[in-house]
């Protein structure tokens, strides 16, 4: 009986790993955080078909301290405001009541730092990228324009800041989160920028700290 039970468990696990096992609703409801086979922190289970494979990109290449999480955050800014702490490599979406949703970010490298307050003036899904003339002069191999898609450096979403050339955007280099790597833009994993994109509205205030 013990051997039969063990073989049965192995068969079920094998089907689950192969993606051929469909759990009933009652069983799926038991897959809660902390259960033995629940997904690790930073991984979201979905039952809907993604519009693009990059929507499934998790934070597996990101240090745990930069995973998206709700934290205590005391600020005088109103709920819905975005605060970017470039030194700590964190972006905060203010929730109110002393809390914020914190994301890990990549920020400007030496010589390209900036700070200030702007508003989100445009939102774009799978944005195209037109490198500024100054950037193309520094890197002659860059294209004049690149259509949006999985190979585009702006990733899955972009939030444009005022009349500046800066954006909060996704990246196809998730390992760069927590680093000083950009020419001034704020980088997030595609999974995180998709999440933030769904929370913010046009004219949202963005405060970038030095």
Which residues are tagged catalytic? 169, 185
Number of residues in the chain: 210
Closest to 209 (Cα-Cα) out of 117, 136, 145: 117
| Residue 76 CB contacts under 8 Å (≥ 6 apart), including other chains | none
The DSSP symbol for 76 reads: S
| Residue 48 CB contacts under 8 Å (≥ 6 apart), including other chains | none
Q: Give the separation between CA 179 and CA 177, rounded to whole angstroms.
A: 5
Q: Give the separation between CA 92 and CA 82, rounded to whole angstroms.
A: 6
Two structure tokens written together for 145: 């324009």
Two structure tokens written together for 174: 């998730």
Q: Give the separation between CA 59 and CA 176, rounded to whole angstroms.
A: 11
Q: Give the separation between CA 96 and CA 185, rounded to whole angstroms.
A: 26
């Amino acid at each position: 009986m013990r051997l039969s039970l063990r073989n049965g468990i192995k068969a079920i696990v094998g089907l689950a790993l192969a993606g051929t096992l469909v759990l009933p609703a009652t069983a799926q409801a038991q897959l809660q955080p902390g259960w033995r086979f629940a997904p690790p922190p930073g991984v979201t289970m979905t039952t809907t078909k993604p519009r693009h494979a990059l929507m499934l990109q998790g934070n597996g290449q990101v240090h745990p301290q930069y995973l998206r999480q709700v934290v205590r955050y005391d600020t005088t800014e109103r709920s819905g405001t975005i605060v970017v702490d470039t030194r700590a490599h964190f972006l905060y979406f203010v929730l109110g009541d002393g809390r914020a949703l914190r994301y890990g970010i990549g920020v400007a490298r030496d010589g390209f730092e900036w700070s200030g307050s702007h508003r989100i003036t445009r939102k774009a899904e799978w944005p195209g990228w037109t490198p500024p003339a100054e950037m193309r002069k520094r890197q002659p191999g860059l294209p004049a324009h690149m259509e949006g898609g999985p190979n585009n450096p702006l990733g899955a979403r972009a939030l444009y800041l005022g009349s500046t050339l800066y954006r909060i955007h996704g990246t196809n280099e998730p390992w760069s989160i927590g680093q000083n790597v950009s020419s001034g833009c704020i980088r997030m994993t595609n999974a995180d920028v998709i999440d933030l994109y769904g929370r913010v509205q046009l004219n949202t205030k963005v405060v970038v700290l030095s």
